[in-house]
Amino acid sequence: MPGDRQTRDERWQIRIADLHKAFAAQQVLRGVNLDIERGKINIIIGGSGQGKSVLMKHLMGLLSPDRGHIYVDGQDIIGLSDVAIAKVQRKFGMVFQYAALFDSLNVVENIAFPLIERYRLPKKEVLARVRDLLERLDLAKVPGIEQKFPAELSGGMRKRVGLARALIDRPEILLYDEPTTGLDPIATKNVDQMIRRTADEFGVTSVVISHDMASTFRIADRIAMLYDGVIVASGERSQVMSAPHPVLKEFVETSGTVRFAGGLS
């Protein structure tokens, strides 16, 4: 299999071990164990309210768990100081569900934001890197894009600008929070292609949380299913699909994507 490394540390970029999290009396994560493979598209599927977003916020260091560990490149990120966690955060780029672009900043300022906040770079270099990304994400051909504000962009364009902002600091890992929610089928396909292309072209590890089975089958290298606070199935796409967990099977069948699944009957 291409990209399969010999040592496990080389292969797994993120390892989550026994992650627990509760809000008040509500237990959201009940011992999540999951490995994220380097350079691959790892999709975490699960229904609404199963704790997908909470899991992702733990990866970014936005929430701290009640119990458990998250190892990023072998380093446990739980309980690190603010400074140390900020260093780890630089390895991540986050693409938010609705892009979460800053309304008061234009496209260039939005994309350049992480660079301006983290480093002291000359303006020329920042602008060059922004323009390079606009070019690579097919945004450069939109007239006057640089000076536009988020409110003036379409949903798809906003998503790509959000991706550009996530990519500007050359992250090793890209997190996508339900990237295809609220998009029509064609826009969904475009976003899927964008995720695939970004993974291939930039060589990043992608972690996508989603409940969209059609796009999962289109782009996933690895699939994990989060159900009731635990990972009930995970592995290579074909491996997971050859003997699906009952919940996963139901998920696939009700989503009407059985024919994409391959091997599921």
Partner 1 sequence: MTEPLPTGADEAAASKLSGRRRYHPLALAGRAVAPLPGAIALFGEHVLLLVRALAWLFRRPFRLRLFLDQMEFIGVGSLPIIMLVGFFTGAVTALQAILALSLFEQQRYVGFGVGISLARELAPVFTALMVTARAGSGMATEIASMRITEQVDALTTFAVNPVQYLVTPRLVASCLMLPVLCMGFNVVGLVGLYVVAIISYHIDLGQVLALFRWGVDPIDYAQGLIKAFFFGLTMATCACYQGLSVRGGAKEVGLATTRAVVSTSVAVLVLDYFLIQVMNVLFPYGGA
Helix, strand, or coil here: 196?
helix
Under the binding rule (CB under 8 A), the answer on residue 114 touching partner 1 is yes
Nearer to partner 1, 67 or 118 (CB): 118
Under the binding rule (CB under 8 A), the answer on residue 103 touching partner 1 is yes
Q: Total binding residues for partner 1 by CB under 8 A?
A: 20
CB contact at 8 A, 173 and 203:
no
- Report the alpha-carbon angle 34-37-43, nearest 5: 65
CB contact at 8 A, 162 and 95:
yes
Nearer to partner 1, 4 or 103 (CB): 103
Under the binding rule (CB under 8 A), the answer on residue 102 touching partner 1 is yes
CB contact set of 84 (below 8 Å; sequence gap of 6+): none
Under the binding rule (CB under 8 A), the answer on residue 94 touching partner 1 is yes
Under the binding rule (CB under 8 A), the answer on residue 113 touching partner 1 is yes
Nearer to partner 1, 169 or 212 (CB): 169
Footprint on residues 2-61 left by partner 1 (CB under 8 A):
57, 60
Binding residue for partner 1, selected from 100, 127, 145, 232, defined by CB under 8 A: 100
- Report the alpha-carbon angle 244-222-258, nearest 5: 45
The strand order across the sheet containing 230-236 reads 92-95, 173-177, 205-210, 41-45, 222-227, 230-236
Q: Which residues bind partner 1 (CB under 8 A)?
A: 57, 60, 62, 86, 89-90, 92, 94, 96-98, 100-104, 113-114, 117-118
